């Protein structure tokens, strides 16, 4: 699902109005209808609803919702914060249509703002995708008033004051929403940590924008949906054997960090790889044989860290390197030697990335189509420090293009960058997964899938989605606090089943 900019959303609205028998005011009515349908499903008419409206079409949506909720016997009041501003035509029409029984507060100063009880509901229709500058003055005071209350806040389209697809200036007041109901597509701002925290839980409400425009819209950003993955992940076929599903090699672990490579190994197996070999330093050999009997173990000559890769690397369909690897000088040399050979596909994580960051020549020799799985700090060591989230996205696109690689930038909405400059945002996963070891399981899953012959892009899309989904299924049982990386691996089977259904 493509993510559109605010400008593209406006074009989509205009295109729909031009190509369908629907007027702008009727499209607004459709949007309001979708909002009311969602509200009716979630909230009964018991609480008082305060509907804050700004001067544009976001406010127009708010007014239309006020009328529709009133018709359904909800207790609604409208708070207009439009002093001295021109109303958009559709706003004005909805203001004219507002039943006279609905109380309307026209805010001229902060003193006019109604007090909001803790059980009140606030619908934020101050500003939407038409926001063009920071919110200050009375608008900012209205936003602070909402934020200072304990009321439940539902934002229409996006929280007022938040820029949809550019950094929000720090001097702009922004509504802190509990829920955001976005039309047709989520905004890029929802998916990035600095802005996403204002959005609360977000839902996308389809309002029938023209599919031709949506399909043709040019955007580097997409949301990862299960529909796309169902085309890629197929049931296993009859008459296949372990040779059909690839042979993966995992290399990593060091004294005190054999657990990391063990977690990766278990996850690779649960991702369905046919055969798995794991190379650890000597200290890991017995541990691995006991902990993961399904894997074949290789021992490095060194007791505590990796100093060489196996000779015959081309017998493997993928090599995953990094979990628990450490950054010893001879490990770096081994990596450098490895990169001088023709290699099967690579998945690089953790200290393999840190070693790349320390040696720019090594990074320049990175084999094309490698998959890298950094968290933001590791990524910044590889690329350069980011000034803000949007800058980091640009760095991600540039890095993937320059090094012809796939980068899985880990986070709440993990973002997969491709050599052709696309970015795919994941929607599965939860804060319970923010603990040590879950990255190692992801490396194992990716190496396991890549060895089975999935393309690097499909490996990233399927692997990242399944990893998060397994975490979500695990959290349903264990809760987020108690969730550990092994739980993710344990629920991987259920995640596969859900995706294959």
- State the binding site: 57-61, 124, 128-134, 157, 160, 260, 324, 375, 410-414, 439-440
Least gap, CB of 145 to K ion (angstroms)? 15
Neighbours of 424 (CB within 10 A): 26
Q: Which is nearer to K ion, 82 or 459 (CB)?
A: 82
Q: Which is nearer to K ion, 131 or 350 (CB)?
A: 131
d(CA 232, CA 361): 35
Q: Which residue is nearest to K ion (CB)?
A: 160
Among K ion, ligand NAX, none, the one that 121 touches (CB under a kind-dependent 5 to 8 A) is: none
* C-alpha separations of 37 from 44, 68, 207, 332, 350 in Å: 12, 10, 12, 58, 46
Among K ion, ligand NAX, none, the one that 196 touches (CB under a kind-dependent 5 to 8 A) is: none
* Residue pair 263/278 in contact by the 8 Å Cβ criterion: no
User: Which residues are documented as binding site for AMP?
Assistant: 410-414, 439
Q: Which is nearer to ligand NAX, 54 or 252 (CB)?
A: 54
> 376, 441, 368: which is closest to 411 by C-alpha?
376
Least gap, CB of 160 to ligand NAX (angstroms)? 8
Among ligand NAX, K ion, none, the one that 155 touches (CB under a kind-dependent 5 to 8 A) is: K ion
Site residues (vs K ion, CB under 5 A) = 58, 124, 128, 155-156, 160
* Residue pair 246/451 in contact by the 8 Å Cβ criterion: yes
Among ligand NAX, K ion, none, the one that 88 touches (CB under a kind-dependent 5 to 8 A) is: ligand NAX
Among ligand NAX, K ion, none, the one that 487 touches (CB under a kind-dependent 5 to 8 A) is: none
Least gap, CB of 438 to K ion (angstroms)? 34
Among ligand NAX, K ion, none, the one that 322 touches (CB under a kind-dependent 5 to 8 A) is: none
Q: Which is nearer to ligand NAX, 61 or 389 (CB)?
A: 61
Among ligand NAX, K ion, none, the one that 176 touches (CB under a kind-dependent 5 to 8 A) is: none
Among K ion, ligand NAX, none, the one that 61 touches (CB under a kind-dependent 5 to 8 A) is: ligand NAX
d(CA 284, CA 440): 16
Burial 307-323 (b: 16+ CB within 10 A, else e): ebbeeeeeebbbbbbbb
β-pairing, 415-417 vs 247-251, is unpaired
Q: Which is nearer to ligand NAX, 70 or 183 (CB)?
A: 183
Least gap, CB of 3 to ligand NAX (angstroms)? 15
Residue 336 region by backbone torsions, left for phi larger than 0, else alpha for psi between -120 and 50, else beta = alpha
Q: Which is nearer to ligand NAX, 62 or 322 (CB)?
A: 62
- Residue 180 has phi, psi (to 5 degrees) of -125, 130
Instruction: Measure CA of the first residue to CA of the last residue in the chain; give whole Å.
Output: 20
Q: Which residue has the tokens 């203001």?
A: 95
Among K ion, ligand NAX, none, the one that 361 touches (CB under a kind-dependent 5 to 8 A) is: none
Q: Which is nearer to ligand NAX, 31 or 269 (CB)?
A: 31
User: Which residues are documented as binding site for (6S)-NADPHX?
Assistant: 57-61, 128-134, 157, 260, 324, 375, 440
Least gap, CB of 170 to ligand NAX (angstroms)? 14
Least gap, CB of 156 to K ion (angstroms)? 5
Write the CB contacts of 135 (distance below 8 Å, at least 6 apart in sequence): 126, 127, 143, 160, 161, 172, 173, 174
d(CA 320, CA 333): 17
Among ligand NAX, K ion, none, the one that 13 touches (CB under a kind-dependent 5 to 8 A) is: ligand NAX
Q: Which is nearer to ligand NAX, 131 or 318 (CB)?
A: 131
Among ligand NAX, K ion, none, the one that 56 touches (CB under a kind-dependent 5 to 8 A) is: ligand NAX
Least gap, CB of 9 to K ion (angstroms)? 13
Please calculate the CA angle 352-353-357 and round it to the nearest 5 degrees: 120
Q: Which is nearer to ligand NAX, 59 or 252 (CB)?
A: 59
> 40, 95, 85: which is closest to 62 by C-alpha?
95
Least gap, CB of 26 to ligand NAX (angstroms)? 9
Least gap, CB of 276 to K ion (angstroms)? 50
Say how far residue 479 (Cα) sits from the centre of its chain: 20
User: Which residues are documented as binding site for K(+)?
Assistant: 58, 124, 160
Write the CB contacts of 301 (distance below 8 Å, at least 6 apart in sequence): 282, 307, 308
Q: Which is nearer to ligand NAX, 156 or 474 (CB)?
A: 156
Least gap, CB of 325 to ligand NAX (angstroms)? 48
Q: Is the dihedral of CA 337, 342, 348, 354 positive or negative?
A: positive
Token code pair at residue 384: 């350069």
Q: Which is nearer to ligand NAX, 21 or 44 (CB)?
A: 21
d(CA 284, CA 300): 9
Site residues (vs ligand NAX, CB under 6 A) = 13, 24, 27-28, 31, 54-59, 61, 85, 88, 127-135, 139, 156-157, 183, 207
| DSSP three-state, residue 415 | strand
What's the farthest any 2 CA atoms get from each other in the chain?
A: 84
Least gap, CB of 166 to ligand NAX (angstroms)? 13
d(CA 374, CA 163): 27
């Amino acid at each position: 699902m493509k993510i559109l900019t605010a400008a593209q959303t406006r074009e989509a609205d205009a295109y729909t109005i031009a190509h369908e028998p629907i007027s702008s005011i009727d499209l607004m009515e459709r949007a309001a209808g979708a909002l009311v349908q969602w509200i009716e499903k979630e909230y009964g008419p018991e609480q008082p609803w305060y509907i804050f409206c700004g001067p544009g079409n976001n406010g127009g949506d708010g007014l239309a919702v006020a009328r529709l909720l009133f018709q359904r016997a909800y207790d609604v009041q409208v708070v207009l914060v439009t002093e001295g501003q021109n109303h958009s035509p559709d706003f004005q029409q909805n203001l004219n249509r507002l039943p006279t029984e609905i109380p309307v507060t026209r805010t001229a100063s902060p003193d006019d703002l109604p007090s909001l009880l803790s059980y009140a509901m606030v619908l934020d229709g101050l500003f939407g995708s038409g926001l063009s500058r920071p919110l200050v003055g009375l608008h900012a005071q209205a936003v602070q008033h909402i934020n200072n209350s304990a009321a439940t806040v539902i934002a229409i389209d996006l929280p007022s004051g938040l820029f949809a697809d550019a950094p929000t200036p720090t001097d702009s007041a922004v509504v802190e929403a509990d829920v955001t109901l976005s039309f047709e597509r989520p905004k890029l701002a929802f998916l990035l940590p600095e802005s996403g925290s204002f959005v609360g839980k977000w839902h996308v409400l389809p309002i029938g924008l023209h599919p031709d425009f949506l399909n043709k819209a040019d955007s580097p950003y997409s949301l990862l949906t299960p529909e796309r993955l169902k085309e890629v992940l197929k049931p296993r076929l009859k008459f296949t054997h372990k040779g059909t599903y690839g042979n993966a090699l995992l290399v990593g672990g060091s004294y005190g960090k054999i657990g990391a490579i063990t977690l990766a190994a278990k996850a690779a197996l649960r991702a369905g790889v046919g055969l798995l070999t794991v190379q650890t330093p000597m200290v890991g050999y017995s541990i691995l044989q006991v902990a993961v009997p399904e894997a074949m173990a290789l021992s490095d000559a060194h007791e505590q860290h990796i100093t060489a890769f196996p000779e015959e690397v081309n017998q493997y369909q993928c090599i995953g390197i990094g979990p628990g690897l450490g950054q010893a000088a001879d490990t770096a040399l081994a990596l450098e030697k490895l990169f001088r050979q023709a290699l099967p596909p690579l998945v690089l994580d953790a200290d393999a990335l840190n070693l790349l960051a320390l040696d720019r020549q090594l990074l320049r020799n990175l084999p094309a189509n490698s998959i890298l799985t950094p968290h933001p700090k590791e990524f910044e060591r590889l690329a350069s420090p980011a000034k803000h989230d949007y800058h980091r996205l640009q760095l991600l696109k540039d890095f993937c293009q320059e090094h012809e690689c796939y980068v899985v930038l880990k986070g709440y909405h993990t973002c997969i960058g491709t050599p052709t400059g696309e970015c795919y945002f994941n929607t599965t996963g939860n804060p319970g997964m923010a603990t040590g070891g879950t990255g190692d399981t992801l490396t194992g899953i990716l190496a396991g899938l890549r060895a089975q012959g999935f393309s690097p892009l499909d490996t990233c899309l399927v692997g990242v989605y399944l990893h998060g989904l397994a975490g979500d299924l695990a959290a349903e049982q264990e809760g987020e606090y108690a969730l550990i990386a092994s739980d993710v691996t344990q629920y991987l089977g259920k995640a596969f089943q859900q995706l294959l259904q």
